[in-house]
Amino acid sequence: MLEKKPSIVAVNTRLQPNETHTPGNDVFISYSRKDKAFVEVLSEAFKRIGRDPWVDWTDIYKGEEWWQAIQRGIESANTFIFVISPDSVASAVCRDEIDYAAHCHKRFLPIVRREGFDPQQVHPQISKHNWLFFRETDDFDHAFDELVRAIDTDVDYIHMHTRLLVRAIEWQLKTENNSYLLRGSDLKDAEQWLVASINQDPKPTEIQTRYIHASQAAKAAFYRARQRAKWIVMVTTVVVNMAIVTLGFYWFYYYLWETTVTRIKAEMVQALNATVAGVNGNDFATLARTPLPPGQTEPVSNPLYQKHQDWLYRVHTLVPYANPYSYTAGTRPGEILIVGDVLRTLEPEKATVFRQSFIVDQPDTAVYQGLFQLSLTTFVTRDQRGAQFAAFAPIRNSTGQIVGAMGLDVHADYVVNLKRSIRELMSFAYLITLLWFLGLSALILRVTRPLNEEE
């Protein structure tokens, strides 16, 4: 054995990704170079009976990293033979080889070649195993027969241990690529071996166990993926057909909704323009600044107020679905003051009071603030009176200055109810169509299912 000593880190060094394992060595022989002559005899004895020993003088190829070659030999060997002598016991390199063999959970077969060593210096992995004696005074043939019998004990289990270790390390070196995992009968054999290892020695290594579990997980993932592919076929069929139905229902819903909204908005715009045209901006500005008499909620004695309220009521009688009201800007940010409100005549319990203050919240703030700068706008809002369409337009005085705004509300409950009815109809149609295509797809999948799911 070469006496070059690797660093302590080298014990855990792995092969580089471009290196490969060649499993099949029956034994790895660890020895001191002073016992080389004996190891040559031992190696030849193995070869005569068709066994393949791993010895450093033949199995370290040109250009290979020395310690990586040692690791490769240990990993691919079924049994680790340690030649005990005073020199090998004291050898740091031999100790590193023993450490790595123990790390790989290899089966140890120590053989004594030369005595004269301190038993306390023998590596613990060597001490705890039975020793065979190959001293010069011992019968070599008899000792060799015992060694071969020991090697052949539980040979199938040991061979599988080596095979799985080599493949697990290769999988690790290939960044745990799934293409290197176990499949089919290989995986079944590995699972049976893992169960059998409970009562066997050596035990599986951590990387072997993880390799088998990763293979099992990949198998489960494969069957899940295949099942998922079946579902994709069914879902795709359902989705494509449902998409056609969805587009049809959506077009109908969108067309009906937009047509209704467009008609209402057009009528509101016409009514609002007519309402604003009938308001004198100068009189409105004067009315908006009129203080409310003590104890009153309306300035009923004010002719401008009576004229304004009469006009709002007249608009309502001409456009019964419209509830007009007017307001002006308050002194605080976002504040408006209600001036006129047709509900004071129609539904007093729902009406505002004269100059009632409101602080407009988002998202309506931008709309209300824009009334004093922009022209007419419409949107759908919801308050204590329910869902409604609202339209607003500025009121200008004789100089063109905006002095307030006119609002027009149209209750939209019937439109909201119509939307709800359409949604319910679509949901029912979806359910019927979905059940039909699910049943049809399930029937197709059942007919086309392979007879053997393991194939």
Structure tokens given for 189: 């054999």
- Tokens (6 digits) for 28: 């790895």
Q: Which of 310-319, 363-372, 384-393 is predicted least confidently?
A: 363-372
Q: Is the pLDDT of residue 4 over 50?
A: no
pLDDT of residue 293: 79
Q: Which residues contact 293 (CB under 8 A, 6 or more apart)?
A: 299, 301
Q: What pLDDT shows up at residue 58? A: 59
pLDDT in tens, 337-384: 999 999 999 989 888 999 998 887 644 444 444 444 333 444 555 555
pLDDT above 50 for 17: no
Mean per-residue pLDDT over the chain, rounded: 80
Residue among 279, 394, 289 nearest 337 (CA): 289
Residue 330 CA to residue 344 CA, distance in Å, equals 21
CA 374, 378, 380, 382 dihedral sign is positive
Tokens read off for 233: 């076929």
pLDDT exceeds cutoff 90 at 410: no
* pLDDT higher than 90, residue 135: yes
Q: Which residue has the tokens 């140890």?
A: 108
pLDDT of residue 16: 37
Residue 29 and residue 42 in contact, taking contact as beta carbons nearer than 8 Å = yes
Query: How far apart (Å, rounded) are the C-alpha atoms in residues 106 and 53?
Result: 15
22 against 149, higher pLDDT: 149
CB 336 within 8 A of CB 371: no
* Interatomic CA distance for residues 60 and 54, integer angstroms: 9
Q: What are the beta bridge partners of residue 323?
A: 409
d(CA 447, CA 453): 14
pLDDT (tens digit per residue) in 211-252: 989 888 888 888 888 777 777 776 776 677 667 767 766 777
293 SS3 class: coil
Largest CA distance in the chain: 139
Looking at residue 59, what is its pLDDT? 55
If you average pLDDT over residues 405-411, what whole number do you get?
80
